[in-house]
Amino acid sequence: MLTLRWFLLLVLLPGLAYASLVRHVGDSYWSDSYDGHFRKYTKHYFGPHVDWRWFKAQGIAESGLQPDASSSAGAKGIMQILPATYEDIRDKNPHFTHIDEPRWNIAAGIYYDRMLYRKWKKGLPTEERLAFAMASYNAGYRNVLRAFRRAQKVGDVKSWEQVAPHAPGETRFYVKRIRRLMQAD
C-alpha cells in the first residue's frame, strides 16, 4: 500500500514538474510571427467571440508553429493538413493557394475546425464544442463520435472530459495539451 509520501513522490511531483514546463500561448517563448493570420482567420470563420489563441495553441500542438513541418502520414505545415483534406478545402476556397504557405495552411486549418465545430451542436458550450472539434481534427470525426456515443451510455454528455476516457489516447493528450497551452501560468 502506497503511503501518502510515496504517492506524492511518484505521482504528483512529476506531474507538477511537467506542468511547470507548459507555457501559455501568450508567453514570449512562442513566436508571434503568425498571430495576425490566427486572428484574421479565427474572426473570419468563427467571429469575434472565439479567442484566436485556441487555434494558435492547436498550431503549437500540431507543429510547434513550424511552417515546414511534415508528418510520416504526409500532413504538412503549421496546422498539419493532409494534402487531400487541403484540396477538399481549397475546392470551397479557390483563393487558397499553396498548402506550404503559412497563411493558407493556417486558414485551411481554422476553416476545417469550423466545419468540425458545426457538427458538434448538441447543446455543448463553445469551449466544449472547440474541444470536440479539435479532437475530431486529430482523430477524425467518426472516431470522436464513436467515443461520444460510448460516453452517452453512461449519461448525458456535456463536456469533453466525459468523452475523453472513450477516445484514443493520443487524442486525449492532444486536447489536454491545447487546453494547457491556453491556461495562464
Q: Kindly report the pTM of this predicted structure.
A: 0.84
Strand partners, 76: 70, 81
Q: Percent of the chain having pLDDT more than 70?
A: 84
Letter for the amino acid at 65? L
> Does 14 have pLDDT greater than 70?
no
Mean pLDDT of the chain: 87
How far is 99 from 42, CA to CA, in rounded Å?
18
pLDDT tens digits for 92-117?
999 999 999 999 999 999 999 999 99
Lowest mean pLDDT among 27-41, 43-57, 82-96, 132-146: 27-41
Task: Name which CATH class applies to 30-182.
Answer: mainly alpha
DSSP state of 183: S
Domain ranges of the chain: 30-182
Alpha helices in the chain (DSSP H): 4-7, 13-21, 35-46, 53-63, 83-92, 102-119, 126-139, 141-152, 160-163, 169-182
Per the listing, cell 506524492 goes with: 8
Coil vs helix vs strand at 99: coil
pLDDT of residue 11: 43
pLDDT at 28: 60
Residues 6 or more apart in contact with residue 184 via CB below 8 angstroms: 24, 26
pLDDT for the residue 25: 72
Centre a 10 Å sphere on the Cβ of residue 108 and count the other Cβ atoms it contains. Answer: 24
pLDDT of residue 19: 42
> What confidence tens digit (pLDDT) does each residue in 17-48 have?
444 455 677 666 677 889 999 999 999 999 99
What's the grid cell of residue 5? Answer: 509520501
